[in-house]
Amino acid sequence: MALNASDVNAGDDILAAHNNALIDDIEQHTHDGTDTTKVDFTANPETRRFSISPANLVPEQDTNVWLIGYDYAGSKDATATSLSMGITLPQGAIITKLNIRWFRNDAAAAGLCSLWRTALSDGGHVEMAVADSNAATGFHTVEDSTIASATIDNINYSYGIKLGISPNDAATDVYFYGGYIEYTIVKPLP
């Protein structure tokens, strides 16, 4: 509904809303009795994080070669394994970082965590970000902030995490301990 000068009197308070969401980040404005009162509806960006828990991962193979706990995921018997999970972020959110926590005690072992989007129209997919276990041993964090197709479009795509774990010669060679996806939204949401 448009607000006309004839709808308010001098001194009236005006409560602003946009797309049925109350605008709470603007100053209170009072109509000044003229034909025009301008209000700044500038949206404010907000950074949020989506937690990637090992407990939410699902194995991609039907053999029992994986180990999933509430605090880590890995291989059960030194066999390569793949795990995945779907993610849901707000429409229009912009992903800014993939942050993953690894443990590796064998330099020949490897872990790879990637963020994907899949087209609902044809199943085609794009790798958006990758955080591998690199050459470090022990506990370490890997980040990727070069995100391809970073804006979330839930109308045309679905999103997910794929995790690959490739031990060298022992099940304890490499573990995934979780992480997060950092994203920015604009308040109010689109």
**For residues 122 and 183, what is the distance between their CA atoms, to the nearest angstrom?**
26
In this predicted structure, what is the pLDDT of residue 171?
Answer: 81
Domains of the chain: 1-42 (no CATH), 45-187 (2.60.120.200)
What is the band of 8 on the pLDDT scale with cuts at 50, 70, 90?
A: low
In this predicted structure, what is the pLDDT of residue 167?
Answer: 87
Q: Indicate the Cα dihedral angle 68, 71, 77, 81, nearest 10°.
A: 60
Question: CA-based Rg of the chain, rounded to a whole angstrom?
Answer: 24
In this predicted structure, what is the pLDDT of residue 25?
Answer: 42
Does position 145 have pLDDT exceeding 90, yes or no? yes
CA dihedral sign, ordered 47, 53, 58, 63? positive
**For residues 173 and 175, what is the distance between their CA atoms, to the nearest angstrom?**
7
Q: Please, which residues have CB within 8 angstroms of residue 13's CB and are 6 or more apart in sequence?
A: 28, 29, 30
For residues 61 and 142, which has the higher predicted lDDT (pLDDT)?
Answer: 142
In this predicted structure, what is the pLDDT of residue 69?
Answer: 84
Instruction: Give the closest residue to 182 by CA, choosing from 48, 45, 44.
Output: 48
**For residues 60 and 159, what is the distance between their CA atoms, to the nearest angstrom?**
16
In this predicted structure, what is the pLDDT of residue 66?
Answer: 81
Span 26-82, pLDDT tens digits: 444 445 555 455 555 566 889 999 999 999 999 887 777 788 888 888 888 888 889
